[in-house]
Amino acid sequence: MKQNKALVLAFTCVMALGLVGVAGCVGGKTDTGDGYEISNQMLTKGENDLDYLHAVAKNTCGRTETLLMSWDLFDENGSKIGTALGGTEELPDGETAEVEAIVMPDDSDMIGEMSEHVASFELSGVYFMKEENARLEAKKEELRQEQEREKMIDEILNDRD
């Protein structure tokens, strides 16, 4: 009788560990970087038969920010077969938001079938859009000022003639 209880206990432990291992393979992946944490990443099939990569994004950059995320999707041979894009808007620092990234296959014949072909995925980029927009605006202002200086120099040179 004691052997049966020991076998049942051992079997239960093995099954529990196996389920935890399977759950870890199916989803739950976390990526952390400078200003973000992307967790619970998993590929799913939507009601509209399109494929999505779901994740939870946490903003840790110190300010409210709009995040854009991209993932590369790979088949069992390690070949890139698609991309997923998703994001958050105005996510306060320290807060989390659900992300539903649309999966876009490299081969349009695979639309709606990606969940059957994707063996793995990697977060390929996290972009801070407010920061990026501020950088672009600063560059635009720098170029405008440079054009003004060139215009003034041209006017001075033309006045000399």
pLDDT in tens, the chain (161 residues): 444 444 344 344 433 333 333 333 335 678 888 899 999 999 988 888 899 999 999 999 999 999 999 999 999 999 999 999 999 999 999 999 999 999 999 998 888 888 889 999 999 999 988 777 777 778 888 888 889 888 888 888 888 76
| Parent domain of 144 | 2-160
Order of strands across the sheet with 96-105? 29-33, 36-45, 51-59, 96-105, 80-91, 65-74, 120-128
The pLDDT value recorded for residue 138 is: 80
The pLDDT value recorded for residue 28 is: 65
The pLDDT value recorded for residue 87 is: 95
Domain count, the chain: 1
The pLDDT value recorded for residue 25 is: 32
pTM score of the predicted model: 0.66
Residue 23 C-alpha from the chain's centroid:
20
The pLDDT value recorded for residue 107 is: 92
Closest CA to 84 of 56, 52, 106, 61: 52
In the block, tokens 């052997």 appear at 3
The pLDDT value recorded for residue 27 is: 56
